[in-house]
């Protein structure tokens, strides 16, 4: 279940963070675009459009803050910029995968928790022809686990 904006705001307040109009607006933009994978610049322009003066640096700093607090997560589609979406990266939370079209750059969200059902599955369910896949595991190696 996704956290509501109020829960997140409460969470922020309870820490040493201030709830500025900029932060709240960025949060709302992210919430209103759960399906979009916005870049920092995307967010910057959307917020400005909504009649709030804001600097690009503030957007970056706020996203960094949200990232550190598990409010959002970042995804990298290899196009040179990071994108952001609601939700944290914890293992407990739902992971969804992305299929990126090499031709039209469309990003298809694949809600499939098991990685087991490999190319065949993806191909069947989404009619997406896989040319290449990339897997990254983030975590701690045996030497660092105990630190």
Positions touching DNA (CB under 7 A) are 13, 16-23, 39-41, 53-58, 60-62, 64, 80-82
Q: How many residues form the binding site for its own copies (CB under 8 A)?
A: 47
Nearer to its own copies by Cβ, of 51 and 135: the residue is 135
- For residue 9, the surrounding DSSP H or E stretch is helix 5-14
Smallest gap, in angstroms, from Cβ of residue 99 to DNA?
Answer: 21
Smallest gap, in angstroms, from Cβ of residue 105 to DNA?
Answer: 13
What string of H, E and C letters represents the secondary structure of 19-86?
Answer: CCHHHHHHHHHHHHCCCCCEEHHHHHHHHHHCCCCCCHHHHHHHHHHHHHCCCEEEEECCCCCEEEEE
Smallest gap, in angstroms, from Cβ of residue 15 to its own copies?
Answer: 22
Each residue 103-132 as x (binds its own copies by CB under 8 A) or -, in order, gives: xx-x-x-x---xxxxxx--x---xxxxxxx
Residues 26 and 54: their CA atoms lie apart, in Å, by 10
Three-state DSSP class for residue 106? coil
Under the criterion CB under 8 A, does residue 136 sit at the interface with its own copies?
A: yes
Contact present, 22 and 47 (Cβ < 8 Å) = yes
For its own copies, the binding residues (CB under 8 A) are 75-78, 89-91, 95, 97-104, 106, 108, 110, 114-119, 122, 126-145, 147
């Amino acid at each position: 279940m996704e956290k509501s904006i109020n829960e997140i705001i409460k969470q922020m307040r309870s820490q040493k963070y201030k709830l500025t109009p900029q932060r709240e607006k960025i949060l709302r933009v992210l919430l209103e675009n759960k399906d979009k994978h916005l870049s920092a610049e995307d967010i910057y322009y959307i917020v400005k459009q909504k009649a709030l003066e804001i600097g690009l640096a503030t957007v970056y700093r706020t996203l960094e803050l949200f990232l550190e607090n598990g409010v959002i997560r970042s995804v990298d589609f290899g196009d040179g910029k990071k994108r952001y979406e609601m939700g944290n990266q914890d293992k407990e939370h739902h992971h969804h995968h992305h299929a990126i079209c090499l031709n039209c750059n469309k990003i298809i969200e694949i809600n499939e928790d098991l990685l087991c059902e490999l190319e065949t599955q993806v191909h069947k369910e989404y009619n997406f022809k896989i040319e290449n896949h990339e897997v990254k595991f983030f975590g701690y190696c045996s030497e660092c686990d105990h630190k």
